[in-house]
Structure 1
């Protein structure tokens, strides 16, 4: 094989100085920082958020399942490549990947912060740090900037700044400060994303009420199944509210929410539209919901056998494989084994599209 996969969803591990050194001075005393807590080990403490972020699972790639623990980790024992770009390139080679789309870790949780001014300051600080991290090799370390979405006008300014910083896309918070994303007030923002050629991403665990791990029904492991639902809700909202009808060139990414569910989800949207849109006051659309879902939404996944099985039921450009390094759900350093096991039945052209071409084309990568 003369090409290597590109991961459409990987992460950094924010170092202790990420926010403290780069945040607006007015917020420096309140900036997120690492604190060692008894029983939890090193954690990122974020003022205004009830629970700290234990570092154990956020950098547990490669650890056997029986040894996974939420707490007890020391930052210096984590994968150095989470914050050291030189080490990151070596870990990419170890996993056999050509490049990675880089998302935050602590920044995912900050998406749910109730104080939007604080959130804005944190995201601006993170963007400054990430720009430095990716500068070592922008073709292989492809950063996604963050926006707090305090307002539509500021969101547009954030897009322009993120583009100028060299980032290839934007990670969105699940909940904006003003009206929800289905409101036509966001039309200038969608148009700015199109004009700047910036795909917009919604990642799991970035919507309020997203994380059911803390209070699941039944055993805690049942909550793991719920964490994809926030992304599904956002994708459905964008389709049914006509965002893609008004902005047909807008590209969005549903990140780390798996993809094997997508054929049924698209079918279910069409069923709801055909059968129930009149009494449920659904918007009249020029095309079926599944067509917008197919043409405007990309889906990333890591270990999802069903996504590969149903790949021919989706748009050829929709699926984008990822390794989720260095998180606990990562396929690193066994990605090549997982790929070999799950893609053997695929047509070589479609296989290459899912593992490389789709993400390369979406973000216009050189790797």
Structure 2
């Protein structure tokens, strides 16, 4: 392999430690806080809400393991997990091993907590997580560990306050629930009652991220998918697609043209066809399907407002000319089972070999650096150069 490619992962994860929630949660919820446990069949797990659900960490932290050893009932002990899932010092070493300069860091347990039915419990868990992420993990190396906060959205007003608090903590963006806790009262995300939240995000410079598996209808093995269980894997991107379509067709970006959103871990190779099909729908069926007057075509909103992260999606690199490549952001998804860790450099060398250097570098690091206002060089550093010479403007 040739010279390593400079890369930032736009979507990586922690495996929340056993005291992540317990030590910081609202005391009223301490007896229900997620806690670490050892299951006789699964090994290392996180117990949610006194056993309401149990998350196998062997599945969450399976990066680099042979596929035949990964499964919900494959016993995985704590010492088999990637220590960088909760230890920031170890995480920096894992970044070096994988050849990435920095990672935008999302939760793991927090992803599935988005689907918990108790809004107050979610709020308590997310507040505790945000403190842990800011104080114990991202705070250790904020230039390399780019922390994302969480909000339950029990109300529009509380969501606005949450965004301000997340910004104060030094976190760089917000992972949104696929469905707000108050959706029934405030409507879906296209409802104008949510406009103060979009305005607050734009004012604060916080990108809003919609991650797979946070919508309830995009779960692996979920019953609503037809046919064999494997078919459910192909549907995990649908939750993100539905959110993006809701915001695009709902005129959200007309009402707040500064808003930036990120479609996370749902791949990107499908987006050119989605854009084409969305424009087709407006042109040919807008007279009976369209219930909002849009200022532009759907594809134009995508090009200006929607970023997409992907890891092992060679197709995305092949269709860069069919969308705005400046909205694509590569990720390693470490330490999840879909991760390219510890072989990211080999994957990237193969997937990007046909690209012009400027397009490649935009996707591998520059787009992410600009979106989150990271202090990184305008071009990838050469051998012997410092990795931080001049800030990229936000």
TM-score (norm 1): 0.97
Segment of structure 1 superposing worse, 352-361 or 75-84: 75-84
The one of 333, 356, 366 aligned to 1:357: 366
Deviation at 1:50, TM superposition (A): 4.9
Change (3 A) 1:41 1:3: closer
The answer on whether the counterparts of 2:5 and 2:345 sit within 8 Å (CA) in structure 1 is no
Change (3 A) 1:315 1:49: farther
Deviations 1:97-147 (A, max 9, x none): 000000000000000011110000000000011112111110000000001
1:128 aligns with 2:137: no
Counting matched residue pairs gives: 367
Deviation at 1:280, TM superposition (A): 1.7
Instruction: Give me the whole-angstrom Cα distance separating, in 1, the residues matched to 2:342 and 2:126.
Output: 30
Deviation at 1:282, TM superposition (A): 2.9
1:213 aligns with 2:217: no
Deviation at 1:46, TM superposition (A): 1.3
Instruction: Give me the whole-angstrom Cα distance separating, in 2, the residues matched to 1:50 and 1:27.
Output: 14
Q: State the match for 1:322 in structure 2.
A: 331
Deviations 1:70-114 (A, max 9, x none): 231122321000000000000000011000000000000000011
Instruction: Give me the whole-angstrom Cα distance separating, in 1, the residues matched to 2:148 and 2:245.
Output: 23
Q: State the match for 1:192 in structure 2.
A: 200
Instruction: Give me the whole-angstrom Cα distance separating, in 2, the residues matched to 1:137 and 1:37.
Output: 33
Segment of structure 1 superposing worse, 100-109 or 267-276: 267-276
Instruction: Give me the whole-angstrom Cα distance separating, in 1, the residues matched to 2:229 and 2:6.
Output: 37
1:270 aligns with 2:273: no
Deviations 1:17-53 (A, max 9, x none): 1111110111101101123223222221212885321
The answer on whether the counterparts of 1:253 and 1:300 sit within 8 Å (CA) in structure 2 is yes
Change (3 A) 1:121 1:165: same
Deviation at 1:246, TM superposition (A): 1.1
Q: State the match for 1:296 in structure 2.
A: 305
Segment of structure 1 superposing worse, 51-60 or 185-194: 51-60
Matches within 5 A, 1:1-367: 4-47=6-49, 50-71=52-73, 72-131=75-134, 132-178=136-182, 179-215=187-223, 216-367=225-376
Q: What value does the CA root-mean-square deviation take over the aligned residues?
A: 1.4
The answer on whether the counterparts of 1:11 and 1:104 sit within 8 Å (CA) in structure 2 is yes
Q: Secondary structure at the match of 2:36?
A: strand
Stretches of 4+ aligned residues off by more than 6 angstroms: none
Deviation at 1:3, TM superposition (A): 6.2
The answer on whether the counterparts of 2:4 and 2:345 sit within 8 Å (CA) in structure 1 is no
Deviation at 1:220, TM superposition (A): 2.0
Change (3 A) 1:2 1:325: closer
Deviations 1:264-291 (A, max 9, x none): 0001110111111221243111110110
Q: State the match for 2:389 in structure 1.
A: none
TM-score (norm 2): 0.91
Instruction: Give me the whole-angstrom Cα distance separating, in 2, the residues matched to 1:274 and 1:172.
Output: 31
Deviation at 1:2, TM superposition (A): 8.2
The answer on whether the counterparts of 1:48 and 1:113 sit within 8 Å (CA) in structure 2 is no
Deviations 1:293-350 (A, max 9, x none): 1110000000001000001111131100000000000000000010011110111100
Change (3 A) 1:49 1:231: farther
The answer on whether the counterparts of 2:150 and 2:176 sit within 8 Å (CA) in structure 1 is yes
Instruction: Give me the whole-angstrom Cα distance separating, in 1, the residues matched to 2:139 and 2:53.
Output: 32
